[in-house]
Amino acid sequence: MERPTVTLRNFEESDLDDFMEWATDEEVYRFSMRETFKSREEAEFYIKNEAMGHPWLKAICVEGRAVGSISLYRGLGNSSCRAEIGYLVARNCWGKGIASQAVKLCLSTAFTDMPDLERIEGLVEPENVASQKVLEKAGFVKEALLRKFFTAKGKTRDFYSYRFLSEDLPHSM
C-alpha cells in the first residue's frame, strides 16, 4: 500500500467543507480538549478568526484537501522555551501514517519557525494508544504519567507526557 503524500499549510476559508467532514465527528474529537463543531457557522468563525490567525496552526493535507489539523502552542514567559503539540485527522485517514507524517513535518520546521524553542511536548491520554504510537514514530520520548492532570469535558484526566528536544532533531529533516 502506497503512503499518501502529506503536506502542511495555513488554513484557508475554502477549507470549510473539508473541515466540516472531520470537525463534526465525535470519534475524531474523543480525546480532544475541545468539543466538536456543531454548525457550519461555528466552524467558519473558527477558521476565519482562530485558525487563520494562529501563529502555528496548519491544515494537514492529502492531495490538497484538508484532512486534519496540527498545532503548536508556545509557552509564555519562563515557559517560552517549550510548545505543546496537538493534532487531529479525519477518521478515514486513521491507520495510514498521515498523522505520523504530519508530526514529522511539524518537527522539521518548528524549531526554525520558533526561535529559541527547545522542547515540544505532547500530552496523550493512556487510552489513546494510536496517538502514543504517532509520537513515538516521530521520535518523541515518553517521560511520565501525570495523574489527575487536566479537567476537560467534565472529567479529570491522566496523561502521558512526551517530549521532543531540539537536539533530538536529525540533521536530515
Domain boundaries, the chain: 6-168
Fold of 6-168: Aminopeptidase (3.40.630)
Alpha helices, DSSP H only, in the chain? Answer: 16-23, 40-46, 98-113, 129-137
Task: Check pLDDT > 60 for residue 118.
Answer: yes
Residue positions counted in the chain: 173
- Does this model's pTM top 0.85? yes
Task: Give the up-direction half-sphere exposure of residue 148: CA atoms within 13 A in the CB hemisphere.
Answer: 0
CB atoms within 10 A of CB 37: 20
Task: Check pLDDT > 90 for residue 115.
Answer: no
- Write the pLDDT tens digit of every residue in 31-80: 988 899 999 999 999 999 999 999 999 999 999 999 999 999 999 999 99
Percent of the chain with pLDDT over 70: 98
